[in-house]
Chain A
Amino acid sequence: QKEVEQDPGPLSVPEGAIVSLNCTYSNSAFQYFMWYRQYSRKGPELLMYTYSSGNKEDGRFTAQVDKSSKYISLFIRDSQPSDSATYLCAMSGQAGTALIFGKGTTLSVSS
């Protein structure tokens, strides 16, 4: 079992839809959880950062962490064609250490 599992998709939705992206993990020591967005042929761009459990909201994006279930989610409200990208979840146990990544979910938002 990989440490971080993420459904690769692809996920296709119409503009304006609510998108839910998810990852599960096996290492209970993970405390730092991040979501990155990666456009084709670009570097990963940090979207959201969460420490431990709970929710965090930033504009149209909401990140949720459920440590009891070892499950994290990213919600995108009112999705836009510009949200079309690959979304990577990442996590680590300590600040300053390497991130363990999911393989990414490819999202396509059609207008």
Chain B
Amino acid sequence: DAGVIQSPRHEVTEMGQEVTLRCKPISGHNSLFWYRQTMMRGLELLIYFNNNVPIDDSGMPEDRFSAKMPNASFSTLKIQPSEPRDSAVYFCASSLEVSSKGRYEQYFGPGTRLTVT
């Protein structure tokens, strides 16, 4: 299995530009998560989907951020317009939900390192 795939791995853009991050979850997984990691705040949830439906977007900072999951094998996180404070590492993770007391493991992609100048 290739694991969670993210692209691009690095993105450098200027303030005001649109940024799109992409994620391909592990085949067969039914939940997908977008996290952001910074030195100050650590790893924090932005949004997650279950069976392609957004469940919790309370971590999305503001309307400049949007996420979609058009099918089970692809998701995007878009920032428009981008700002310097959006600079961080953005991780996508996926998991397979099983019945209670079963296994629950979340697997992370390699991340996208975003720099907004």
In the assembled complex, the Cα of A67 lies from the Cα of B107 at a distance in Å of 24
**With contacts A49-B104, A49-B105, A103-B42 known, is A42 near B95, CB below 8 A?**
no
In contact, B109 and A43 (Cβ under 8 angstroms): yes
A49 (CB) vs chain B CBs: closest residue: B105
In contact, A46 and B106 (Cβ under 8 angstroms): yes
Query: Which of A52, A96, A98 is the one whose CB lies under 8 Å from B45?
Result: A98
In the assembled complex, the Cα of A98 lies from the Cα of B113 at a distance in Å of 21
B95 (CB) vs chain A CBs: closest residue: A96
Contacts of B108 in A (CB 8 A): 36, 43-46
The size class of the interface chain B forms with chain A is: 20 to 34
Residues 36 to 93 of chain A near chain B (Cβ within 8 Å)? 36, 41-46, 49, 51-52, 88, 90, 92
- Total interface residues on A, CB under 8 Å, equals 26
Closest chain-A Cβ to B41's Cβ sits at a distance in Å of 8
In contact, B43 and A101 (Cβ under 8 angstroms): yes
**With contacts A43-B108, A45-B108 known, is A98 near B56, CB below 8 A?**
yes
Answer whether residue B50 sits at the interface, using C-beta atoms and an 8 A cutoff.
Answer: yes
In contact, A101 and B42 (Cβ under 8 angstroms): yes
In contact, A97 and B42 (Cβ under 8 angstroms): no
Answer whether residue B18 sits at the interface, using C-beta atoms and an 8 A cutoff.
Answer: no
Closest chain-A Cβ to B11's Cβ sits at a distance in Å of 15
In contact, B104 and A32 (Cβ under 8 angstroms): yes
A-B pairs, top 9 by smallest CB distance, nearest first, are: A96-B97, A95-B104, A103-B42, A43-B108, A101-B43, A98-B45, A43-B110, A44-B108, A96-B31
Extra contacts besides A46-B107, A99-B106 (10): CB < 8 Å: A44-B43, A46-B105, A51-B101, A88-B43, A94-B100, A95-B99, A95-B104, A96-B104, A101-B42, A101-B44
Give B residues with C-beta under 8 Å from A.
4, 30-31, 33, 42-45, 48, 50, 55-56, 59, 91, 95, 97-111, 113
Give A residues with C-beta under 8 Å from B.
32, 34, 36, 41-46, 49, 51-52, 88, 90, 92, 94-104
